[in-house]
Structures are given as structure tokens and as C-alpha cells.
Amino acid sequence: MTNPKEMPSAPALPRRLACARCGTEFGCDLSGTCWCAEETAKLPMPVEGEDCLCRECLRKAAAEARTSAG
């Protein structure tokens, strides 16, 4: 019998998403190297019913959040 822990795992492929706000397609790398990890714009996790945002919408939403908080 083969031990599953000894079997090589397949590399995680980026998933294709459509921005929840504008519909722009982009990739999200589930291995932890997603472009959003490099962004200085940070937001809470998506609101109910909304998924990830593209880079432009993330930046706009962060700017709006700063404006309404300040």
C-alpha cells in the first residue's frame, strides 16, 4: 500500500476569477503568492455575497474606506 503522504502533490494552479464589482477576469494563486498579498491596499474579507476584487477595484474600495473612515 502507498502512503499518501509520500506521494508528490500536484502544484496548485491559479484559479480564474471575475471581479465581483466590474467583472474583469484575473488569476488568484491559492499557494499564497496571489498578487493581492503584495498590495498595500488592505480590506476585510469580502462582504457576504461578494468574492475577490481585481487590483483596480481593490484599490478603489480601499480609497473609499479611507475616505469614509477619516
CB atoms near residue 4 (< 10 Å): 7
DSSP 5-69: GGSPPPPPPPEEEE-TTT--EEEE-TTTT-GGGG-S---PSPPTT-----HHHHHHHHHHHHHHH
Residue 24's pLDDT is: 95
pTM: 0.65
Residue 1's pLDDT is: 45
Residue 50's pLDDT is: 74
